[in-house]
Structure 1
Amino acid sequence: MDTSIHRTAIVILIVILLGGCTWKQQQEPAHPESVQPVLPGEYFITHHLMTDQGMIRTSFAEQHIYLSESLGLWMDYLVQKKDQPSFDQQVDVLHTQFLLNHDLLSWQIESQQKSKVNALVDDLRVVAALQKADQLWQKSAYQTTAKEIAQALKDNNMFKGILTDYYDASTKQTSHTITLSYMDPKAIKELVSLQIFTKQTMINQLAILKNAPRQKGFFPKSYDIAKKAYSFDQEINLIDQLYTALHAEHAQVDTSEIMKWLKTNFQEEGKLYGRYELNSLKPAVTYESPSVYALVILYALNQGELDFAKDVYHRMKELQIQDPLKPYYGGYMNEKETHSFDNLLPLIAERELLNESVIQ
């Protein structure tokens, strides 16, 4: 058989097989409105990172590590996709694998051992996803779980009335620091709707974002609650800055200087790097990050910068393996390595672009 014909036949077969998964759902859908095509990134995650138990491993390392970060991001994606059966599977993973006795999530599971430490950002993300799911599918169990986690955050994960980075159940110690990129106003507002926080408590949290000093438009990395002091890193980690900028916008904080800087750099370089020196604003590294591009897309969508979001999307997709004949089709790979975060965030960004009809 001619090589080109053989190659075409294989590609067609893969497309049929991928479509077959969706076609089967279309025959007997539990929720007809939720049937959507499987994106390449989703295919990669379910075929290469997800275990038979529905847990997403962090990398291809022989020793599997599972993060509450991956769980929350995947739950967020499934809500956006309106895939309730898969979402319910992750709720089961949440209950059976990640929840600790005091209703906070273990931030990491390694060698089947749960860390006794949580990560505020991940717990808030899961609460927000459960609340979105409850609004979408009206299943009270989602809100019940969200409320239990939210109450545990209030009981254990606060210092002087402010949410902090983590709580260590083994030592019963709470962090005295809050990383600004962890402070998600949308998720914190859900704690109010769950009647765990008062509006004043929420206002106290958001004041950390609103009162943050800026250097060249960029935010501090963290705030020491005991010392009442903000701290800047000497390098700008764009993932931290983009999360903070996105959260700040939701708290009605102006971040236009950051958006202007991003657009200018991207237009001049055709790319963005993972880190920049704070003093010179020159790249501190040579690598690009699919997660950075994903967050730029989400930030640009929030700002109504649709053309910029689309341009960044096309650059992000250049980092993805798009050939169906390649072993890791759909993955964002660094040679033979990958990380769940660098696949989940781009997938969320792509789904949001589709949902907003920015791409088709």
Structure 2
Amino acid sequence: MHTRIYRTAIFLLIVILLGGCTWRQQKESADPVSPQPVLPGEYFITHHLMTDQGLIRTSFAEEHIYLSESLGLWMDYLVRKKDQNLFDQQLGVLQDQFLLDHHLLSWQIESEQKSKANALVDDLRVVSALQKANRLWKKPAYQSTAKEIAQALKEKNMYKGILSDYYDASTNRTSHTITLSYIDPKAIKELESLHIFTKQMTSNQLAILKQAPRKKGFFPKSYDIKKKTYSFDQEINMIDQLYTAQHAHHAKVNTSEIMKWLKTSFKQDGKLYGRYKLSTLQPSVTYESPSVYALVILYALKQNEQKFAKTVYHRMKELQTQDPLKPYYGGYMNEKETHSFDNLLPLIAERELLNESVVQ
């Protein structure tokens, strides 16, 4: 009995402290909004993965690695949460730590050394977050930074008029391949809204996605711009496929076959796996991924499948450390290890469920 009372008291104390942190952050904001509770996943990231400089560690490894992927996902989350104070902190991290001389983002910082290569998907995500922030808070620095990155993408990161996977400044080489999950229609249209792309240029990018062949409803992994050929993997990487399905939906491509398969597979197994064999659609691994569940949730919401999204959310939350007395409360852990991606994406999905009032 005493143990139960003690645990309850500790939990309530944590809730009060978290609420206090949120109030303080919002109070300091230049454009205050109603305080929103700090989610357990947000608590884990800020207390266990984030450095004093605002960089997000990829894992608990002794050698710290920081990715532009983590930066972009965190900025995306902060816009959805409408937390301008923390967003402005990340704008500083972007400008001071990740931006290279030519205004693309270093995809990785390791041992305080920036990679000279970028990753298109991360740069697009950051541009999109900055544009959303500008619409929310009307701060010139958001749009001017977005425009610098967008202009650099046009000048450095295109091959034969098509955005490609990366540009490497150390070799002055632009990739000849585009991974289909990188073709984000909403983000690419932001390049048009910034007057960097014309409508025809936007259309040319989306055509790669719209014209992609399908196998059992699933998309190719990549498109070789030079050879004008698509490539399928023998395995379905669920992260890639779910990103591509979301983007295809925004490009008005029918993806109902994928949604039907997701619902059937989840109902049959009570879970979804990280990879499947394309030939049989049977799992090729035994692990579940919180990131996969997060992307299923976001995709289901776009498809007006709120009930399915909520069901998957409950399964995802079972993978999270929910006991406030545990040392890694709020984290998605693999024993004593974790990855920033597997914490940031579930956090975004949970925030979106709250924003759309699917969960409370």
Q: CA deviation at 1:26?
A: 6.0
Q: CA deviation at 1:33?
A: 1.9
Q: CA deviation at 1:145?
A: 0.4
Q: Which residue of 2 aligns with 1:10?
A: 10
Are 1:42 and 2:42 counterparts?
yes
Q: Which residue of 2 aligns with 1:114?
A: 114
Letter in 1 for 2:194: L
Instruction: Say which SS state the counterpart of residue 57 (structure 1) adopts.
Output: coil
Q: Which residue of 1 aligns with 2:198?
A: 198
Q: Which residue of 2 aligns with 1:245?
A: 245
Q: Which residue of 2 aligns with 1:144?
A: 144
Q: Which residue of 1 aligns with 2:261?
A: 261
What CA distance in whole angstroms lies between the structure 2 residues aligned with 1:93 and 1:23?
23
Instruction: Say which SS state the counterpart of residue 350 (structure 1) adopts.
Output: helix
Letter in 2 for 1:195: H
Q: Which residue of 2 aligns with 1:155?
A: 155
Between stretches 14-23 and 53-62, larger displacement belongs to: 14-23
What CA distance in whole angstroms lies between the structure 2 residues aligned with 1:82 and 1:13?
25
Are 1:169 and 2:169 counterparts?
yes
Instruction: Say which SS state the counterpart of residue 33 (structure 2) adopts.
Output: helix
Change (3 A) 1:39 1:211: same
How many residues in Structure 1 have an aligned counterpart in Structure 2? 360
Instruction: Say which SS state the counterpart of residue 230 (structure 1) adopts.
Output: strand
Structure 2 counterparts to residues 1-360 of structure 1, below 5 A? 2-25=2-25, 30-360=30-360
| Residues 107, 122 of structure 2: 8 Å contact kept | yes
Change (3 A) 1:40 1:201: same
Change (3 A) 1:313 1:225: same
| Residues 23, 35 of structure 2: 8 Å contact kept | no
| Residues 34, 81 of structure 1: 8 Å contact kept | no
Instruction: Say which SS state the counterpart of residue 276 (structure 1) adopts.
Output: strand
Which ranges of structure 2 fall in alignment gaps of 5 or more residues?
Answer: none
Q: CA deviation at 1:14?
A: 1.8
What CA distance in whole angstroms lies between the structure 1 residues aligned with 2:25 and 2:237?
41
What CA distance in whole angstroms lies between the structure 2 residues aligned with 1:321 and 1:342?
13
| Residues 29, 35 of structure 1: 8 Å contact kept | no
Letter in 1 for 2:191: L
* TM-score, L = length of structure 2: 0.98
Between stretches 215-224 and 27-36, larger displacement belongs to: 27-36
What CA distance in whole angstroms lies between the structure 2 residues aligned with 1:160 and 1:316?
41
Instruction: Say which SS state the counterpart of residue 24 (structure 2) adopts.
Output: helix
| Residues 183, 206 of structure 1: 8 Å contact kept | yes
| Residues 300, 309 of structure 1: 8 Å contact kept | yes
What CA distance in whole angstroms lies between the structure 2 residues aligned with 1:113 and 1:354?
38
Letter in 2 for 1:239: I
| Residues 34, 82 of structure 1: 8 Å contact kept | no
Q: CA deviation at 1:191?
A: 0.4
| Residues 321, 333 of structure 1: 8 Å contact kept | yes
| Residues 25, 86 of structure 2: 8 Å contact kept | no
Letter in 1 for 2:208: I
Letter in 1 for 2:239: I
| Cα deviations by residue, 1:138-172 (Å, 9 ceiling, x for unpaired) | 01110000000000000000000000000000000
Q: CA deviation at 1:128?
A: 0.3
Instruction: Say which SS state the counterpart of residue 94 (structure 2) adopts.
Output: helix
Change (3 A) 1:124 1:29: closer
* TM-score, L = length of structure 1: 0.98
What CA distance in whole angstroms lies between the structure 1 residues aligned with 2:34 and 2:55?
22
Q: CA deviation at 1:11?
A: 2.1
| Residues 219, 232 of structure 1: 8 Å contact kept | yes
Which ranges of structure 1 fall in alignment gaps of 5 or more residues?
Answer: none
Instruction: Say which SS state the counterpart of residue 178 (structure 2) adopts.
Output: strand
| Residues 332, 342 of structure 2: 8 Å contact kept | yes
Letter in 2 for 1:172: N
Letter in 1 for 2:40: P
Instruction: Say which SS state the counterpart of residue 32 (structure 1) adopts.
Output: coil
| Residues 222, 231 of structure 1: 8 Å contact kept | yes
Letter in 1 for 2:122: D
| Cα deviations by residue, 1:181-240 (Å, 9 ceiling, x for unpaired) | 000000000000000000000000000000000000000000000000000000000000
Instruction: Say which SS state the counterpart of residue 33 (structure 1) adopts.
Output: coil
Q: CA deviation at 1:27?
A: 5.7
| Residues 222, 232 of structure 1: 8 Å contact kept | yes
What CA distance in whole angstroms lies between the structure 2 residues aligned with 1:248 and 1:216?
15
Instruction: Say which SS state the counterpart of residue 245 (structure 2) adopts.
Output: helix
Identity percentage over the alignment?
A: 81
Q: CA deviation at 1:35?
A: 1.9
What CA distance in whole angstroms lies between the structure 2 residues aligned with 1:12 and 1:128?
37
What CA distance in whole angstroms lies between the structure 2 residues aligned with 1:37 and 1:265?
34
